[in-house]
Structure 1
Amino acid sequence: MSQEDRQHQIASLFSHNTAVTVIIDGQQYEIGMDGDIQILVNLPPTFPDEAPVMTVSPTGMRHPWIDSDVIVCDALLSWHPQYSVGMVVHDIFENFKTLPPTLRSATEDTYGHRPQPPIPTNAPPSAQPPAEYLMIMNKSPEEINELLSNDRAFEIFFHSLDRVQNMKTVKEELCNGNENLARKNLSYEEELIRLRSQVTSMNKEYQELRSKVSEKERQQQDAFNRFSSSTIMTRLKAGVNESDDLSESVAQSFLDGSLDHESFVKQFRDLRKVYHLRASNLEKLQRNDTLFS
C-alpha cells in the first residue's frame, strides 16, 4: 500500500469519529466517547497492510472484545487493507454503547478468566484467520507440548509474534518521543534563564525610571504651585501692603522731623512708585482671574 492509502485511512479516523486527538502524527491517535472511555489507535509502519493495534483505557475493563486492555474484535483479528480503520473504531464504540465495558473485580483472575465469546460482526466471509492461529496450526504436537511445558520456549514464541513486536515498536516510539520532547524542553533552559534575567534587569530599570518620573512630577507640581495665580496674587497683596506701610513710615518720619525734605521726597516717591506698580499688577491679575474663573 502507498503512503496515500495510509493517509486516506488516517483521514477516515476523523471523518467517522468526533473526539480525535493526535498523539504522534501519523502513528498514534486517541479517540474518546461518552463515559470516559478512550481507544488508543497505534498504526504500525506497514499499516494498512498490517492491522492497527488498539488499546482501551481505563485499564482493567471487561468486555468480549477486550483482552488484557487490547481490543480483539473480528475486524481487527481478520484485518484487510480495504477495511476503514475509522469505521472500525466507530463500530467498536457503537458496540460499547450497546454492551458497555465493565471494570474487572479485584478478585477476578486476569489470566485464568475466560472471556465471553466475541459478538458476531459483519466481517467479510472470506476473511483469513489470525496469523497467530496459523503459526500454531503449523506446529507439530511435540512443538505445541514444548510451548506448554517450557516457559522459556513459550516466551520466545510469544515475543516472536508480529502483534507483540508491533506493540514493542509502538512502545519504543512512545519512549523515544517522550525522550525527544524532554530533550527539546531542556534545550530551552539556558534561553529561559537568560530571558528571566533580562526581564529582572528590565523590571529594575523600569522601577528606577518610574521613581525618577515620580520625582519630576513632584517637582513640576511644586513649580506649578509656586507660579499659580493664587500664589502670585497672595505675594502681590503682601508686596502692596509692604510698600504702603513703608511709604507711610517714611511720611511719619518726615512729620516727626527725623527726615529732611529732600530725603523724604526721594524715598517716598520711590516707595509709592513700587506700591502703585504692585497695586496695578494685582488689579490686572484679579480682573483676569475673575474673567477666566
Structure 2
Amino acid sequence: MTTPFQANFPELAHLTREDLEDLLADPAYFQSILHTLPRVQAMLQALAELGSANMAIAKNNLALQDELYQLRSETKAAYDEARYLESHFKELSKEQKEVYQRYDPSFLHTRLRHATTAQDDKSEALAALFIKSPPEANDIDAFIKEFKETRKVYHKRVIWGEKWAAGKVTWRDN
C-alpha cells in the first residue's frame, strides 16, 4: 500500500524512516536532498530564468533612463511653454478686445455725439468770450476765422450724426 507521502514524493519513497528522520533533523542533509528533486530543480530553473529576464528588463530600463529623463524634461518645458502662451494669449485677447472696442460702431457713434457736443460748447464759449470782452478791431478777423472754423467742424459732425441716425453710415469689418 502506498502512503500519501510516497504518492506525492515518489523520489523519496526509497528512503527509510531513519533516513527521513535524519533528513528532518539535519538542515544541510535536507537541503542536499531537496535540491536533487526534479520538481524543485524545475522550480529553481524557472526562478533563475525569471531572475535573468528581470535583470534583462532592468538593464533595458536603465539604458532608457537618460532618454526618459530627457523626454520628461522636454515635456515639462513644452508644458510650461504652453501654459505661458495660454496666459499670454489671454492677455493679448483682452488687449485686442479693448482695442477693437474703440472701433466698435456704437462706441464710435457715442464718441461722435460727445465730440459734437464738445465742439458746440467750444464755439459757444468763443462767442461768449467775444461778447464779454470784444477784441480790438484788428483781432476781429482772427476771431471770425477761428469761430467760423469751429462752427464748420461742429456742423460736419452734426451732418455725420444725422446720416448715422438715418442708417446711411455702414462699417466694414475688413
TM superposition score category, shorter chain reference: 0.5 to 0.7
Q: Which has the higher strand share?
A: 1
TM-score, normalization by structure 2: 0.67
Counterpart mapping for 1:206-285 below 5 A: 206-255=82-131, 258-259=134-135, 260=137, 262-285=141-164
For 2:88, the aligned partner's letter is K
1:240/1:161 Cα in 2 relative to 1: closer, same or farther (>3 Å)? closer
Residue 274 of structure 1 and its aligned partner are, at CA, apart by 0.6
Residue 291 of structure 1 and its aligned partner are, at CA, apart by 8.7
Per-residue CA deviation, residues 85-111 of structure 1 (Å, 9 max, x unaligned), is xxxxxxxxxxxxxxxxxxxxxxxxxxx
SS state at 2:69 partner:
helix
Counterpart position of 2:77: 201
Counterpart mapping for 1:15-164 below 5 A: 115=4, 132=11, 136=14, 147-148=19-20, 151=23, 156-164=32-40
> C-alpha separation between the residues in 2 aligned to 1:145 and 1:212?
86
> C-alpha separation between the residues in 2 aligned to 1:191 and 1:208?
25
> C-alpha separation between the residues in 2 aligned to 1:131 and 1:254?
133
> C-alpha separation between the residues in 2 aligned to 1:172 and 1:191?
30
Residue 263 of structure 1 and its aligned partner are, at CA, apart by 3.6
> C-alpha separation between the residues in 2 aligned to 1:290 and 1:279?
13
1:273/1:171 Cα in 2 relative to 1: closer, same or farther (>3 Å)? same
CA contact (8 A) 1:247 1:268 kept: yes
If asked which structure has higher relative contact order (CA below 8 Å, sep 6+), I would say 2
> C-alpha separation between the residues in 2 aligned to 1:257 and 1:146?
142
Residue 234 of structure 1 and its aligned partner are, at CA, apart by 2.5
For 2:119, the aligned partner's letter is S
Q: Which has the higher helix share?
A: 2
- Structure 2, gaps ≥5 residues long: none
Is the aligned partner of 1:177 residue 2:56? no
Per-residue CA deviation, residues 155-211 of structure 1 (Å, 9 max, x unaligned), is 545533433322321222222233333333333322222222112211222222223
Residue 220 of structure 1 and its aligned partner are, at CA, apart by 0.6
1:219/1:179 Cα in 2 relative to 1: closer, same or farther (>3 Å)? same
TM-score, normalization by structure 1: 0.44
CA contact (8 A) 2:126 2:147 kept: yes
SS state at 1:243 partner:
helix
SS state at 1:258 partner:
coil
1:228/1:156 Cα in 2 relative to 1: closer, same or farther (>3 Å)? closer
> C-alpha separation between the residues in 1 aligned to 2:30 and 2:131?
139
Is the aligned partner of 1:190 residue 2:66? yes
- Structure 1, gaps ≥5 residues long: 1-113, 119-129, 137-142
1:191/1:283 Cα in 2 relative to 1: closer, same or farther (>3 Å)? same
Task: Provide the alpha-carbon RMSD of the alignment.
Answer: 3.8
Per-residue CA deviation, residues 118-166 of structure 1 (Å, 9 max, x unaligned), is 8xxxxxxxxxxx9738x94xxxxxx868845754667545533433322
For 1:132, the aligned partner's letter is E
Structure 1 vs Structure 2: percent identity of aligned residues? 30
1:168/1:265 Cα in 2 relative to 1: closer, same or farther (>3 Å)? closer
> C-alpha separation between the residues in 2 aligned to 1:153 and 1:262?
133
Runs of 4+ in structure 1 off by over 6 angstroms are 289-292
